[in-house]
Structure 1
Amino acid sequence: MSILSTLAEALTTGRIEVVDLTAPLSADTPVIQLPPQFAQTARFELEELSRYDDRGPAWYWNNFRTGEHTGTHLDAPNHWVTGRDGDDVASVPARRLLAPAAVLDFSAQAAAEPDFLLEVEHVRQWEEQHGPLPDGGWLLYRTGWDARSASQRDFLNADDTGPHTPGVSPACARWIAEESPVLGLGVETVGTDAGAAHSFDPPFPCHAALMGSGKYGLTQLQNLAALPPTGAVVLAAPLPIVSGSGSPARVLALVERG
């Protein structure tokens, strides 16, 4: 039996489970909020064109409007000034959209400290237990933040000093971008950077380092708790928007069961 036939049979029998890592996309989907002097991303909006009525008696359809970086989405290298000459989202090679994943669970730490930062030593400790990060794969950083995704306020967790959400330290961001074998970082928060990353040196180090190294970000993931530390394969499927800096994406994981 061929490899693809074996895969198809495993999907049919349930030996391989498909886990949806995508947040539902609606007008209630949380969006990032920048300081008021900057342009803001659009919330998701549907505009009904017809619904089995005199505008179209046999069909229902809509226009939609949204930001490239609304909901579960992929950041392409040209999203950040450090990657301005890099690929747009339409140029991401298709072979890089299907890749193995390592899931690093720091949900307990993030529950105790919303500003928790992943450090290189945390990744090294994980590797001692589970083996090296996958070459050409994803580092998926679980913080449990998807449990907050029904509320804009809880998801951004902001006060007078700004948002408080877990993220990655500047040193770890550089390491992931420049030294680790992974193709990108996936998170459950609104962006790959911590809520307080505007105050880091440099600011927004995940965006700067990852995009500058030609790597990718996946954000607002859900259901990472359903994935094992190793062994899952992730399919990240953004729209191929020409000149786009990113796109909402359907992100699925294949997990072997039994």
Structure 2
Amino acid sequence: MSVLSAVLDAVRSGAVEVVDLTTPLQESTPILRLPEPFGNTRQFQLEEISRYDDRGPAWYWNDIHTGEHTGTHVDAPVHWVTGKDGPDVSQAPMRTLVAPAAVIDKSAQAAADPDFLLEVEHVRAWEGEHGPLPDGGWLLYRTGWEARGEDAAAFLNADEDGPHTPGVSAECARWLAEESPLTGFGVETVGTDAGAAGGFDPPFACHHFLLGAGKWGLTSLRNLGRLPATGALLVVSPLPIVGGSGSPARVLALVER
């Protein structure tokens, strides 16, 4: 039996489960909101072209209006000034889009403190228990934030001091970018950076360091609690937008059961 036939049989039998990590795209999907004077992306919207009517009697279809960074999406290196000479989303290597995944779970800490930050020591402790981070793989950061995904206000969690969402310290972001073997980093929150990261040194350190190092980001993931700490295979499918800084994506994980 070929390798691909064996995988297909494993999926059909349930020996391998395909877990969807994607937030559905709809008008209510939470999106990042930047303060003035910065520009903002638009909310996702369907615009009907025809639906079995005089505009098209036998077919239904829509135009879609959305930004590159809406819902579950990929951040390409070119998205940030530190990666401006890097690849756009259409140039994502296949070895990045299909790669092993590790999951670090700090949902209990984030439930107690929405400003919780992942530190290098947390990743080192995870490695002490589970082994090294996957070479050329993804680190997926579980915070439990997906539970807020149907309520935009709770998901963005902003007050007069700004947004309060868990993330990564500046030092950990630098370490993941420069010293880890990862190809990318994924989160459940609206962006890879913590809500307070605008005040970090440098600001938005995940974007600054990871994209500047040619690594990739994934945001608004769901169902990370259904993945093991190690052993899942991630499949990331962004639109190949030429010149694009990112793209909404369908993200799947293959998990042995």
Which interval holds the TM-score relative to the shorter structure? over 0.9
Distance between the aligned counterparts of 1:132 and 1:95, measured in 2?
19
The residue that corresponds to 1:223 in the other structure is 223
Task: Quote the Cα distance in structure 1 between the aligned partners of 2:52 and 2:17.
Answer: 36
- Pair 1:143-2:143 in alignment: yes
Give structure 1 stretches of 5+ with no counterpart: none
Letter in 2 for 1:149: G
RMSD: 0.5
Matches within 5 A, 1:104-183: 104-183=104-183
Flag structure 2 segments of 5+ consecutive residues without an equivalent. none
Counterpart code for 2:127: E
Task: State the identity %.
Answer: 70
Query: How does the TM-score come out when normalised to structure 1?
Result: 0.99
Residues 136-167 of structure 1 deviation map (CA, whole Å, 9 limit, x = unaligned): 00000000000001111000100100000000
The answer for the alignment partner of 2:208 in structure 1 is 208
Structure 1 equivalent of residue 81 of structure 2: 81
For residue 100 of structure 2, give the secondary structure of its aligned residue in structure 1: strand
Determine the C-alpha separation between the residues in 1 that align with 2:24 and 2:75: 18
For 1:197, the equivalent position in structure 2 comes to: 197
Deviations 1:32-53 (A, max 9, x none): 1101210011110100000011
Aligned to 2:240: 240
In structure 2, the residue matched to 1:252 is 252
State the Cα distance separating 1:83 from its structure 2 match.
Answer: 0.3
* Count of aligned pairs between the two proteins: 257
TM-score, normalised to structure 2's length? 0.99
Q: Which runs of 4+ in 1 moved over 6 A?
A: none
Report deviation, 1:95.
Answer: 2.7
Question: Could you tell me which amino acid in structure 2 is paired with residue 251 of structure 1?
Answer: V
Letter in 2 for 1:95: R
C-alpha distance in 1, partners of 2:247/2:80?
14
Q: Is residue 39 of structure 2 the alignment partner of residue 39 of structure 1? A: yes
Query: For 2:40, what is the secondary structure of its paired residue?
Result: coil
Residue of structure 2 equivalent to 1:21: 21
Q: 1: CA distance between counterparts of 2:138 and 2:212?
A: 17
Amino acid aligned to 1:145: W
Corresponding position of 1:50: 50
Separation in structure 1 between the aligned mates of residue 196 and residue 116 of structure 2, nearest angstrom: 10
